[in-house]
A = this chain, B = another copy of it.
Amino acid sequence: MTIETVSLNRAYGGTQGVYKHASRSTGTDMTFSVFVPPQGANAKLPVVWYLSGLTCTHANVTEKGEFRKACAELGLIFVAPDTSPRGADVPGDPDKSYDFGLGAGFYVDATQEPYARNYRMWSYVTEELPALVAAQFPVDASRQSILGHSMGGHGALTVALNYPQRYRAASAFAPIVAPAQVPWGVKALSGYLGGDRMTWRKHDAVALIEDGARFPDLLVDVGDADPFLTQQLQPERLEHACEKAGIPLTLRRQPGYDHSYYFISTFMEDHLRWHAERLKA
């Protein structure tokens, strides 16, 4: 397990790094970013995983997410993976389709050709990268949490609901909560997993909850001016599922906010404080 340092910048007394490694999950090089706050010089720290949305790389949240100040105050390591494998041999053309293929891995292990070989983002973000980060950074692996945006909100919720013992907190900005029931999700899950909808259920937060998955509590922010709110996000589906299952959900409809990093950055500190309370409990 070796990693190559792409860049290192001092920020808020800590270090914002970008790293590259050869991934055995995806069969490609993968890039990710890690912020280590100043406390990381002397202690093993909790780690917050951030999964990004369609079209993004690690760079969007790293540059625009405004997470470093709160992480430096709260003593949190912040890790941001890419959203898909990339490379000349990887199928998927972002010029033809922004919501499938490159930049749109949907945090599943594809079973369908020609995607099955590279599109293994589930294994990557739940197994390979956590092991790599634990080995290379001052991480207390017993204290992990996860959040994400849009497709990455879907990723965060489904990862947390599949591994409720591993993550002490989970939250999302404008997540896709029921991919099996919305266009982005149907396209991605059928393309990567095929037509058997039973195989989709472990990658659908609402279906997971219907099937018995539980998590101590969840925080979700959506903007009421988000252009994807009614067709793709449908947070009320999560609201109903959580209510029925008895999962405490804090769902906030933020007035005037859209789907952008202007929205995410505004509420990032709130989410990190929510995570820190649960990581340090």
Interface residues of A (CB under 8 A from B): 9-13, 16, 63-64, 66, 68-69, 223, 225, 254, 256-258, 260-263, 265-266, 269
- B266 to A11, Cβ gap below 8 A? yes
Closest Cβ–Cβ distance, residue A231 to chain B (whole Å): 20
- With beta carbons under 8 angstroms apart, the residue of B9, B11, B63, B263 that contacts A10 is B263
Tell me whether A10 and B257 are in contact (CB under 8 A): yes
Specify which chain B residues have a CB less than 8 angstroms from the CB of A260 in the assembled complex.
Answer: 9
CB-based closest 9 A-B pairs: A9-B262, A11-B262, A10-B256, A10-B257, A12-B266, A63-B64, A66-B66, A11-B266, A9-B260
Q: How far is the CB of A62 from chain B (nearest CB, A)?
A: 9
Which of B10, B254, B263, B269 is the one whose CB lies under 8 Å from A262?
Answer: B10
CB of A134 to closest CB in B, whole Å: 25
Closest B residue, CB atoms, query A267: B12
Q: Chain A binding site: helix, strand, loop or mixed by DSSP?
A: mixed
Give the chain B neighbours of A12 by CB distance below 8 A.
266
- A10 nearest in chain B by CB position: B256
**B68–A258 touching, CB < 8 Å:** no
**Interfacial chain B residues near A68, Cβ < 8 Å:** 265-266
27 interchain pairs, CB-CB under 8 A: A9-B258, A9-B260, A9-B262, A9-B263, A10-B223, A10-B225, A10-B254, A10-B256, A10-B258, A10-B262, A10-B263, A11-B262, A11-B263, A11-B266, A12-B266, A13-B266, A16-B262, A63-B63, A63-B64, A63-B261, A64-B64, A66-B66, A66-B69, A66-B265, A68-B265, A68-B266, A69-B269
A266 to B35, CA, bound (A): 13
